[in-house]
Amino acid sequence: MASPEEPRRRPGARPSPDRRPFPFARAVLLLVLFVILAVLLVSQVHPTAIKGSATSPQVAATTTTAPHPTTTTTTAPPTNVPVLVANGSTSSGAAGDLSNQLRSAGWSVLPAVNATISVAKSSVYYAAGQEGPARAIASSLHLPSSAVQPLTSSAPVAATGGADVVIIIGADLGPQVVSASTSSTLG
């Protein structure tokens, strides 16, 4: 016998609309359709996300080692990277000498300038997206990786002149650059 809280049902009668069983088959079908639509949408918005890394371009950098001074090969051609050299040392002509060495190694070098202050340690600053070329130049100058920094307004130059890489020659590098320019060039 039915309890007083439950209404009595006739045998063989369908359950009332508010008491129908959960439609699992319909829920699974809707979930499958949702996943298919999501995959199609993502493949239209981000084609490489679905196709995988097999079609993604691979970029590599190679480094060559030679006696000091040397240059490093990167994926970006040096002629496409404007470089500014600023002398922050007491070695007269160091920025011009290094500019000539970099130019002969294939870099696109802007006219040399003096730094706004004298510095003890040389630095290589880079604009957004130019860390690779900056590291290549720093490596060719045998500077530590800590000498490579993002280009900000704190770089000791009056203006960058549109340079993507700015080299500040410090007291640690100035004499070497001047003596290297009389014996050899980067390359």
pTM, full prediction: 0.57
What's the pLDDT at 10?
Answer: 64
Q: Are strands 82-87 and 108-109 parallel, antiparallel or unpaired?
A: parallel
77-131 pLDDT tens trace: 678 899 999 999 988 999 999 999 999 889 999 999 999 999 999 999 999 999 9
- The third-level CATH classification (topology) of the domain covering 78-183 is Alpha-Beta Plaits (3.30.70)
The pairs formed by 174-179 with CB atoms below 8 angstroms and a separation of 24 or more are 174/87, 174/89, 174/90, 174/91, 174/94, 175/89, 175/91, 175/94, 177/91, 177/94, 177/97, 177/98, 177/101, 178/91, 178/92, 178/93, 178/94, 178/97
C-alpha distances out from residue 135 to 7, 59, 62, Å: 81, 16, 12
Domain layout of the chain by residue ranges: 21-52, 78-183
C-alpha distances out from residue 4 to 7, 9, 10, 12, 59, Å: 7, 13, 16, 21, 76
Mapping DSSP to helix (H, G, I), strand (E, B) and coil, where does residue 108 land? strand
What's the pLDDT at 78?
Answer: 78
pLDDT in single tens digits along all 187 residues of the chain = 555 565 566 666 665 656 667 777 888 888 888 888 888 877 777 655 444 444 444 444 444 444 444 444 445 667 889 999 999 998 899 999 999 999 988 999 999 999 999 999 999 999 999 999 999 999 999 999 999 999 998 899 999 989 999 999 999 987 887 766 655 545 4
